[in-house]
Structure 1
């Protein structure tokens, strides 16, 4: 299972989502490989800040040949998470081609919705080569019971791709865990943040399993 987390707009929380998803799968006993394909290297910096034993391997591969090199690396792992690059189409394209499913994080903001169109275009291009490639929008940093949160779902319905029924709310637990190179399942395992990222991880795995069974 190879999961890409991408949006051509920066600052949407993709690295936070990617790292915490990897944490969920690793905590469940699966072998996880994390690919930092963003030249900014945020996930590598997160890993360097960690003092505890690693939950999963983190490798920097901000390369347009990622989709060609990853299959051999992925063979020894149950789950691969790719933290893709914003704004660099050739890197994003390679990360998308390497993925089985692409998570597109979108904040409840019109700017994020507009920017998602470019990521959707790249996914649709990749489907010319990988026809079974899946994509799913995940609303991130949602503020509950706001008109803006409701409006973003309506706007995303105009794009191709699934909209996840699991959203991630604005929570300080994600930032607090990241400061020490940890995930929320370590620092706040009974928090709402831990529960919602676990639900998202299970939802993504279930979507891939359902698609595989239908094929």
Structure 2
């Protein structure tokens, strides 16, 4: 399975989510390759911290911010891995466009802010372009950094707006704004590996991954 976590809008927590998904899948016994398609290299830095700490399981990670290189490397090595997780975006880049052509699943995280929702129009256009040259790209949108309150008007308004974008299937399983996610990713860990676990964060991540990978 090749899954891209991507958005042309920065600041939506895509790298944190990509790192969390990659590590969680490795904890489930999958051979995982995490690809950092962002020039900032934040995902690669997180995995480097994990490697230096000798945390098990180890996560293979490579950084390819150039679309042709990313495409060529994945085409050569995709059969070596159970899952390939790509962190791409923050802008419209060649790496993001190449990822859309290669992936089975696109997960688009968005924050419950009006300008984040408006920016999804750019992703919708890229999806239409990708689907014009390939079949089988499944696209999902998930609210990331959602307001903690169960009855947040910002959450509900953003969810309503995104559910009307035909290029995405909206996953009604928000990842709420919790320190556990940023703290864990900064240490190269899954929220499930933290010494003091946030049970709610673990449950949210597990539910999302179960939906994306059809885990029963």
TM-score, with normalisation over the residues of structure 2?
0.91
Cα shift at 1:23: 1.5
**Cα distance, 1:91 vs. partner?**
2.2
TM-score by length of 1: 0.91
| Shift of residue 52, structure 1, vs aligned partner | 2.5
CA contact (8 A) 1:142 1:170 kept: yes
CA distance in structure 2 between the partners assigned to 1:86 and 1:105 by the alignment: 11
> In structure 2, what is the Cα distance between the partners aligned to 1:92 and 1:114?
19
Alignment partner, residue 212 of structure 1: none
| Alignment check: 8 A CA contact 1:44 1:58 kept | yes
Structure 1 residue 189: deviation in Å? 4.7
Find the counterpart in structure 1 of residue 174 from structure 2: 167
Give the aligned length: 208
Residue aligned with 1:206, SS: coil
Matching of residues 63-78 of structure 1 within 5 Å:
63-65=66-68, 66-78=70-82
Dislocated runs of 4+, deviation >3 Å? none
SS at match of 2:16: helix
3-state SS, counterpart of residue 107 of structure 2: strand
1:52 to 38, 48, 54: 54
What is the CA distance between 1:69 and its match in structure 2?
Answer: 3.0
Structure 2: runs of 5+ lacking an equivalent: none
Pairwise CA distance, 1:74: 1.6
Instruction: Specify the alignment match of 1:17 in structure 2.
Output: 17
- Identify the residue that residue 30 of structure 2 maps to in structure 1: 30
Residue number in structure 2 paired with 1:185: 192
CA distance in 2, matches of 1:3, 1:84: 10
3-state SS in 1 of match to 2:29:
coil
Contact between 1:27 and 1:55, CA under 8 Å: does it hold in 2? no
Measured in 2, the distance between the counterparts of 1:176 and 1:26 equals 19
- Do residues 116 (structure 1) and 123 (structure 2) align? no
Counterpart of 2:207 (choices 199, 210, 213) is 199
Deviation of 1:123 (Å): 1.1
Greater fraction of residues in strand: 2
Residue number among 80, 86, 93 corresponding to 1:82 in the alignment = 86
Give the Cα separation in 2 of the matches to 1:181 and 1:52.
Answer: 10
Determine if contact 1:108/1:152 at 8 Å carries over to the other structure: yes
Contact 1:4 / 1:96 at 8 angstroms: preserved in 2? yes
The Cα shift of 1:190 comes to 5.6
The Cα offsets for residues 10-31 of structure 1, whole Å up to 9 and x where unpaired, read as 1100001111011111111011
